[in-house]
Structure 1
Amino acid sequence: MKLIGIEEHFLTPDVAQAWHAVALEARDPSVAYHQGAIGARLADLADDRLALMDETGLDTQVLSLTTPALHDLGPTSVGLAQRINDALAEAVARHPTRFQAFATLPVSQPEAAARELERCVRELGFKGTMLCGRVGAHSLDAPFFAPIWDRAEALGAPVLIHPRTPPVAVREACYAGFNPTLDAVLATAGLGWHYEAGLQFVRLVLSGLFDRLPRLQVILGHWGELVLFYAERLAVLDRFSGLDHPVAHYLRENLYVTASGMFWPEYLARAARVVGTDRLLFSTDYPYQYRAGREARRFLETCGLEGAALAGFAHANWERLCPA
């Protein structure tokens, strides 16, 4: 059975240099994660990556620029995004059955980002885009980002909301007090990333974005970034939100969920209960969650799904969401 991973990352040297130029490593400890063996795997879009895909049993990767992408860069990110997307299109053209792509956007420039999303989808054949949460003080529900959301819905292009590091004040209040390394990991991959991404989606719901753009589709990784495990609790918001529908409606009509390499059948079962099996997508979160030994294929074979539901999780749900 064909297996497509929809959250699989890369990084280019010019993006790493742009991060360094604005001293991003001083504000975002996750920048340090993109070094050593992880950095080498992020940079490779050729034979080594393909060999590791074969080893774990993945047929196709949907490539996306790793967090924090271009969110902390200013107007210069417009040209940088175009260069990244052109290079990514070339990589897909070299391996059209093995690679697909999410657009990299100059998110701090929303009008330019909307235009670049349209170019990537219509001209380059990309499937959608990935956003990494806040830009400065703006959460993704801010009216500032309306051009991006409007264009995504018009294009039928899904938007993956990826985790990024919480603001410094949040890290100091909630994740500090142990030692610098432990504080940083707790605030990022340990927990903070996932609260941050899940909250971004909840804010989109409460802002009325999906009432205004009912065909818009968002993807959350890591089995829904904790949100699905509190679906019953989120229903409390229905009494106060003034939305057209209960929160549960948006979970089933506007949200897809992917595994991000967290291969626990219990998480899959919970996600299926909340959003339905037709909204489950596969991913390995390469290279961060990469593990050898055909583990991706093994999880597909032991996850508890069968028949159409299994095929949907492996590839068909994605192909229906993003038809060729």
Structure 2
Amino acid sequence: MTLVAIEEHWICPALTTALEDVPRPDESLAFNELGDHAQRLTDLDEGRIAAMDAQGIDVSVLALTPPGTQSLPPGEAVRLSRTANDLAAAAVGRNPARFRALSTLPMSSPEHVVDELVRAKGLGHVGTMVYGRSGKRFLDDPAYDDFFAAAADLGQPVFIHPQIPSESVRDASYRGLGDLTDLALATFGWGWHVDTATAALRLILRGTFDRHPALQVVLGHWGEMLLFWLDRADSLARVADLPHPVSHYIRTNFHITASGMLNPALLRHALSVTTVDRLLFSTDYPFQHPSRDEIGTFLGHFDSDEDRRKFSSANAAALYGLAL
């Protein structure tokens, strides 16, 4: 069975240097240096393909690891987004049977985002990865509406990836427990996921999908907790005067990937609120390391070979236009 992993991270050395040189570097950059992460993230050739082979993965959709370029000044964000997209396109060109890529966009410069999205699609990028906030500007800000219109028109799915919460939110909710615990709570332990779910919910409440019904968005980590709160979130639609409940948009405009969290209980809940056609496989490489056996065991929890095929590859092929 063909296996496509859609959220497989890499780093651009020039971007990493720029991010480390800003006055207050993003603390989550430290995760890229843990263990052998740096080596794995920079390898876009034989080492990565060997890791894919060991897990039984046929195609990896490369996505720049957080925090992207959105924390950089506009001019630098534009330049380094182009650099990252060129590097990813070159990696795909060297191994077109094994790699595809998501583009990086200069979200701190909204007026340049559409141009880079169009350019990146011309390079062969099959979608894009963004974050819920750029500085103080939320992703649902009207400044990005042209971007969402273009993404819908171009058939470029938008993956909203977690990022560290703002300093003000961290001060209010994620400090006072010790430096390492504070960082873990603000990132992989909780804050990343709440922040991303909120960004997705704000897009719905802003009417983004009513203006752009063809727009498709991907959320990782089984929907960043949003799938588990739809009974309550649906009540927001009435207050926001939306034509549909929140759960309608989740089933119509959102795709959900596992991000290496191969827990059958999470699968069962996802299938209770959306359909198997909306679920996608990923490992969140190199931050999760499911083995070939663990992946095979998880796939055994689907009800049919057809459902397994959809999750393993068919849904990704349809969403990203992959010829497998």
Give the TM-score taking structure 2 as reference length: 0.96
Q: Contact 1:255–1:275 at 8 Å: present in 2 too?
A: no
1:320 is matched with which residue? 318
1:147 is matched with which residue? 146
Q: Distance in 2 between matches of 1:46 and 1:23?
A: 33
CA RMSD across the alignment: 1.3
Deviations 1:53-104 (A, max 9, x none): 1112211110011111001012112121112111111110111111100011
1:244 is matched with which residue? 243
Q: Contact 2:205–2:237 at 8 Å: present in 1 too?
A: no
1:275 is matched with which residue? 274
Within-5 A mapping of 1:183-198? 183-198=182-197
1:62 is matched with which residue? 61
Q: Contact 1:161–1:220 at 8 Å: present in 2 too?
A: yes
1:18 is matched with which residue? 18
Q: Distance in 2 between matches of 1:303 and 1:194?
A: 25
Letter in 2 for 1:190: G
Letter in 1 for 2:118: E
Deviations 1:291-313 (A, max 9, x none): 4454334422x233422211110
Q: Distance in 1 between matches of 2:293 and 2:41?
A: 20
- Structure 2 counterpart SS, 1:76: helix
Q: Contact 1:259–1:283 at 8 Å: present in 2 too?
A: yes
2:305 is matched with which residue? 307
2:105 is matched with which residue? 105
2:36 is matched with which residue? 37
Q: Contact 1:278–1:312 at 8 Å: present in 2 too?
A: yes
Q: Distance in 2 between matches of 1:48 and 1:165?
A: 29
Q: Contact 2:237–2:243 at 8 Å: present in 1 too?
A: no
- Structure 1 counterpart SS, 2:85: helix
Farther off after superposition, 291-300 or 65-74: 291-300
Q: Distance in 1 between matches of 2:320 and 2:168?
A: 38
Within-5 A mapping of 1:278-293? 278-292=277-291
Letter in 2 for 1:230: W
Q: Distance in 2 between matches of 1:24 and 1:42?
A: 23
1:232 is matched with which residue? 231
The answer on 1:9 being equivalent to 2:9 is yes
Q: Distance in 1 between matches of 2:80 and 2:307?
A: 40
Structure 1 pair 230/58, CA: closer, same or farther in 2 (3 Å)?
Answer: same
Q: Distance in 2 between matches of 1:57 and 1:294?
A: 9
Letter in 1 for 2:113: A
Q: Contact 2:235–2:245 at 8 Å: present in 1 too?
A: no
Shift of 1:40: 1.2
Q: Contact 2:9–2:63 at 8 Å: present in 1 too?
A: yes
Q: Distance in 1 between matches of 2:90 and 2:293?
A: 28
Deviations 1:10-29 (A, max 9, x none): 0011011010121342xx32
Q: Distance in 2 between matches of 1:84 and 1:313?
A: 29
2:50 is matched with which residue? 51
Give the TM-score taking structure 1 as reference length: 0.96
Q: Distance in 2 between matches of 1:303 and 1:43?
A: 34
Q: Distance in 2 between matches of 1:22 and 1:163?
A: 20
Q: Distance in 2 between matches of 1:238 and 1:161?
A: 21
Letter in 2 for 1:316: A
Structure 1: give runs of 5+ residues left out of the alignment.
Answer: none
Farther off after superposition, 219-228 or 79-88: 79-88
Shift of 1:150: 1.4
2:136 is matched with which residue? 137
Structure 1 pair 115/305, CA: closer, same or farther in 2 (3 Å)?
Answer: farther
Q: Percent identity?
A: 44
Structure 2: give runs of 5+ residues left out of the alignment.
Answer: none
1:174 is matched with which residue? 173
Structure 1 pair 291/311, CA: closer, same or farther in 2 (3 Å)?
Answer: closer
Q: Distance in 2 between matches of 1:288 and 1:179?
A: 23
Q: Distance in 2 between matches of 1:98 and 1:294?
A: 21
